[in-house]
Amino acid sequence: MLTMFIFLKKYRFAAYVALLLMLVELMVELLQPYIISKIIDDGIVHNNLLVVLKWGGVLIGCSIFAFVAGILSSFYASHVSQSFGFDVRERLYDKVQSFSFANFNRFPESSLITRLTNDVTQLQNTVFMGLRIMLRAPLLVVGSIVMAFIVQPKLAVWLAVVIPFLGIFLLWVLKKGEGLFRSVQQHLDQVNGVMQQNLIGMRIVRVFVRMQHESARFAHSSGQLMDRTVAALRLTEATMPIVLLVMNASVMAVLWFGRIELDTSGATVGEVIAIINYATRTTAALSIMSMIVISFSRARASAQRMEEVVLTDIDLTDTTGSDEAAKPREGQVSFENVSFQYPASDQRVLDHISFSAKPGETIAIMGATGSGKTSLVQLIPRLYDVQTGEISVDGTDNRLMKLKHLRKQIGYVPQEIMLFTGTVEQNIRWGKEDATLEEIIEAAKLAQIHDTIMKLPEQYDTIVGQKGVNLSGGQKQRLTIARALVRKPVILLLDDSTSALDVQTEAALLQALKQLKCTTFLITQKISSTVSADSILLLDDGRLLAQGKHEQLIRESGLYQKIYESQFGKEGVSRA
């Protein structure tokens, strides 16, 4: 938890001011019962109006002063807590942005969303409470007991005797509640995960008429969250009645023995009222402390969850000794005896792969599902690192290049299409922040999407819905290709990015790509995409079975012949 509170250091001046003003407010509150006792004993009992007016004026003045101090303390506490929350949220988001794919596998998306929102808010509220009441409440308890002993020691004993037992009880609740609220946050992650999946896949849910099933799945997750929340609140909500029961018993003891002291002239009416007043304040403070215990339990659980993110070791970073000047310039790519397996997996996805791509060549990659095509392509921009072997770009091991330099020269179109809410122009410019409109149009023309854009209601200013819901599959694919092309990459990676295109559009796109001076890696299942490739890599179960041009493979590779036959028939193979 201390890791998160390091973010408070830059706001320590405002925090100290908030605490100082809170202490001023507290001192006045502790003096009020004492002043009231003076008004009663020296003024009302002796029928002395001047004393009543004098101490009454002091009481009013102190109350106004405390009110102003409280308002200013709340202002500074709000400034600290809100700024703290902003910094923590920004730090968490920056950390998530630096995650490798392997790091992302540790945290579900729904869990990261909960940590960036609910958990940060929980800790932010705790900071505010800490500056306003978390310290004030125990100080009020201690101060009330001290003032009670100053006013009337015999009666104050009945307050002091119960405080240690209540303190131990509240500490036990704090420890017990922390684990319960951690479980609550984990089940909140699960509920968010179910909601996220349903909202993203709403069309599939509707088409397959699975609304009832998904509603039941959500009800199950939501029910588990409710059960965990009830279990946590059952403990914490029982805290306040127990505190009130013990403190009310203490107040009754003060009243009982206070009457005896009055009869024996061992105490005055003002002193008994003052002790009762301090007892009331102590009760209120302990009630607040029970709420603080609940909040602090949740905050500790949230802080630990956020620390897990902040303290996560990024397993893919710039290597020591990486060359600042090294970056892809020509686009030559070589795989030398490369083997790869995903973290926490014992199965090799790629097994001793070796090949070379010259600058400007188009390399088509074919193979069955799970053969390692996407994994191979993802190794080039170092989305993962190889276990053995070496991948060199323009003669330099890609692990010796700065990640930002390596990836800025690569255009990547993933298999899963991802568009952002915004205009068509903004989505293409996402690939190159400073791209001009002319560059955007040029990229759209190369991607064979310009004519389609010009037919849209607002053309390049047309709003693209979330994930491109208002576009067809082919339009979304071409738009993501334009996004990659606008950066004029040295290396272009297309992961099954023409699957939704018709033959004519695909042919025009591949012909346009040949005009670019970039090395293109094209993952495809269509022979029509491989015919014009400079080289074809045929993968099977992570191994490179064959490599060559279309004409060579159609003669020498039985697997390639089967793929060709499945798309064009046996007669097509004989003609080829």
Mention every residue, 6+ apart, whose C-beta is less than 8 A from residue 347. Answer: 341
236 and 269 inside one domain: yes
472 and 351 inside one domain: yes
Q: What is the pLDDT of residue 335?
A: 92
21 and 156 inside one domain: yes
Mention every residue, 6+ apart, whose C-beta is less than 8 A from residue 538. Answer: 366, 367, 544, 545, 546, 547, 553, 557, 559, 560
Q: How far is CA 206 from CA 43, 55, 222, 348, in A?
A: 79, 74, 21, 38
Backbone φ and ψ of 70, nearest 5°: -65, -40
Q: Residue 328 domain-assigned? A: no
Q: How many CA atoms lie within 13 A of 134 on its CB side?
A: 16
Q: Residue 324 domain-assigned? A: no
90 and 231 inside one domain: yes
* Total domains in the fold of the chain: 2
294 and 231 inside one domain: yes
Q: Residue 170 domain-assigned? A: yes
Residue pair 511/528 in contact by the 8 Å Cβ criterion: no
Q: Residue 86 domain-assigned? A: yes
Residue pair 114/265 in contact by the 8 Å Cβ criterion: no
Q: What is the pLDDT of residue 24?
A: 85
Tokens 């409280």 belong to which residue? 70
CATH of the domain at 358: 3.40.50.300
Q: Residue 504 domain-assigned? A: yes
Rounded Cα distance between 558 and 323, Å, is 44
The last residue of a domain, from among 248, 275, 310: 310
Q: What is the pLDDT of residue 201?
A: 64
Low-confidence residues in the chain, pLDDT < 70 = 1-2, 4, 174, 177-178, 196-197, 199-210, 236-237, 239-240, 244, 248, 251, 254-271, 287, 289-290, 293-294, 321-325, 466-470, 568-576
Rounded Cα distance between 417 and 413, Å, is 8
195 and 298 inside one domain: yes
Question: 358's torsion region: left (phi>0), alpha (psi -120 to 50) or beta?
Answer: beta
104 and 199 inside one domain: yes
Q: Residue 321 domain-assigned? A: no
- DSSP codes of every residue in 396-445: EEGGGB-HHHHHHTEEEE-SS----SEEHHHHHHTTSTT--HHHHHHHHH
Q: Do the bridges between strand 333-340 and strand 388-393 make them parallel or antiparallel, or are there none, so unpaired?
A: antiparallel
256 and 368 inside one domain: no
The last residue of a domain, from among 310, 344, 370: 310
Q: Residue 319 domain-assigned? A: no
Q: Residue 253 domain-assigned? A: yes
Find the domain containing 191 and state its range: 2-310
Q: What is the pLDDT of residue 85?
A: 86
The last residue of a domain, from among 310, 343, 359: 310
457 and 569 inside one domain: yes
303 and 342 inside one domain: no
386 and 286 inside one domain: no
CATH of the domain at 290: 1.20.1560.10
425 and 547 inside one domain: yes
Task: Please list the residues that pair with 363 across neighbouring strands.
Answer: 521, 535
Rounded Cα distance between 373 and 334, Å, is 16
Predicted structure pTM score:
0.69
